Structure 1
Amino acid sequence: MAATINRPSVTDLQSISAVDTAWLMTATILVLLMTLPGIALFYSGMVRRKNVLNTMASVIGIAAVVSLLWFAFGYSLSFTPGNGWIGSDSRFWFAGLDFDSVHQKVAVSHLAPHVPEAAFAMFQLAFAVITASLLVGAWVERMRFGSMLVFVGLWSLIVYAPIAHWVWEPGGWLAKMGALDFAGGTVVHINAGLAGLVCAWMLGPRRGYGREPLEPSNLGFTMIGAALLWIGWFGFNAGSSLAADGRAALALSVTHIAACAGAMGWALAEYLVRSKVTLLGLCSGLVAGLVAITPAAGFVTPRSALMIGAIAGVACYWGATSLKRMLGADDSLDVFGVHGVGGIVGALLTGVFADPDIGGVTGSVVTQGISVLAVGIFTVITTAILFWLVNALIGLRVDEESEQVGLDIALHRERINM
């Protein structure tokens, strides 16, 4: 039976805050900006020239498919009361979110009572979209386009939606346990990082990987994409306060501090190991800092954010270099090395640095560790089963000729001129 969600009458509209609503809609746009064009540019600059357009097309295709599935099923499964594992069907096809101008009724979420539920649903849609889009970096240059959309669409419902419910819906079992994830360290980054690693390992390496240089096409694209991610992340973290308040302002400040510390942490590690600092390293480091502060943004002080960002910058450099070699998977654009490792670091350090004077909760490293482990096990096993099934039914990898020619021509009959 579908859970009943109360809808306010005209008198309840006084609880709707115009300021909070405007901020949440702005934050939604910022988070969507992270995917389109942020992730598209960030990733396409790191692939070879013959695969730039396919990488961009993959991000746009995923954004469209995941958005439609979120509208149909994903939102309801993630954010309505159901049980500890999954939500109900009460919001399938955004049922009940219509604004009735005759009767002056507007639905609000039990999680965000001061904004229209349509705004909350769209804000969370932007998170579902970017999480799925992050996966592209693990398999670029070797995945069939149509099959990829089928896999990612299923993954968004079977893997992402349950985890979002566990952690962010008050009835979710990890939420009840006290796991802290302010804006998606576990739900978004650990989830996508580990799923990407599984996909990269099962798909196999790019032809020539480890034997010939796979040079990035345009690191200028990557820098622009990183800058858009940095800007959009203010909506990602500060928007997760769901109000235009002091907590949102603090989340914005710690986000920026952690990004800067992450860039410097990565740069220092890179310089000590290779005696040089690269643009790609600076971009990767700032993303590492942003990833790590995400679960902690509403719970920690600026000084703690500095520590979290710096530690993440060094840890993710190791994750994208030494750890990547040890794992032996061609995670093409280091989805696990940056998002997986950074998410784990951030989730655990949230348990260390969470300040009850800020978030009203005390962190626990043990609880955070259980959350990381539970999400990790579920993501790895479920992603592997889903990947195997889709690959067995319709195939996921392109043929050798298509890979050599490049997916821009082989799959899209388009070519970029740079």
Structure 2
Amino acid sequence: MRTQVAIIGAGPAGLLLGQLLHKHGIANVIIERQSADYVLGRIRAGVLEQVTVDLMEELGIGQRMRQEGLVHDGVELMFKGARHRIDFPSLTGGKTVMVYGQTEVTRDLMAAREAAGLQTVYEVGDSVRLEGFDGGNPVVRYRRGGQEHVLECDFIAGCDGYHGVSRASVPKGAIREFEKVYPFGWLGLADVPPVSEELIYANTERGFALCSMRSPTRSRYYVQVPLEEKVEDWSDDAFWNELRLRLDPEARERLVTGPSIEKSIAPLRSFVAEPMRFGRLFLAGDAAHIVPPTGAKGLNLAASDVKYLSDALVEHYGERSAAGLDHYSERVLRRVWKAERFSWWFTSLMHKFPGEGEIAQKLQEAELDYLVSSKAASTAMAENYVGLPL
């Protein structure tokens, strides 16, 4: 079997890249280790920057997003027991964000790919091998149904996440990794009505809390916990009691509790792999970088990565120019590092770090006070939150 671009990974990054290439007549096949149901079952964040929303619209798959997504004009920062709103449109020239779950983005992209008759090979497990990408004849080998398959291609796009085969296939010494692991995680609990119409980020002496949402009837709440904590040690009642202690009086009054449908502890990490191109293999999304969820950048960075990559591939096939491919890694990493910086800054501002003492809390509160009272500081945060331009 042969195609122009082999895409490894059927998450949002791979599916979005496939649709962008298909729009320009570039043949592609997606290879995914898990089943389609498994991919859809992964619960992730759902705050979309305007760049991501525009890409969905460009591909003609934004109808359900427009109907069910929630446009958010701001966020609320809580510290010293009071909330302060950051208004996005007034600070960014009218820009907003869209709350629309990553599962729904994936569902829309899957439906569009199926409607277009494009090939996705699911359930190949750990059999995928990438070969020849350091020369002119890349090959993807995999096993499915007990048979060995070979996919020849011009380029390979590694969109298979942090633990995927793509980055692992790069020879040692050809890649440099930068990582910061935070000494805490987010304990999350879901599926009750939201406490507020917008997200609340809370800085408290007990630690960070986030009141987020997926829809007008489904919330996602988080509290900061030490990394050594275990989910089974947290009953639903214990979670709700701790969340209440980290909210302002109005939010506590409006909080609706209930049994958990999903409860987990998510570790926080900053990670970047450089470069993001190795011959004819290109990395995109979580295969190349991870951000803490504090700034809601993960899915949006993946979207901007594949936009850059699709533009470069369109230029290659349409104009026989290698300029876009040659500069892909450099261009993408400039945006990646800016998003990493914002996510690190916001995480450092809102969380309680062990061993730093009372002075750390006072310094955070002083910076938050400056942030909400200074138009320049509020603008900088708003610009980063809604998404920097491509």
TM over 0.5: no
**TM-score after normalising by structure 1:** 0.23
Higher strand share: 2
**TM-score after normalising by structure 2:** 0.24
Higher helix share: 1
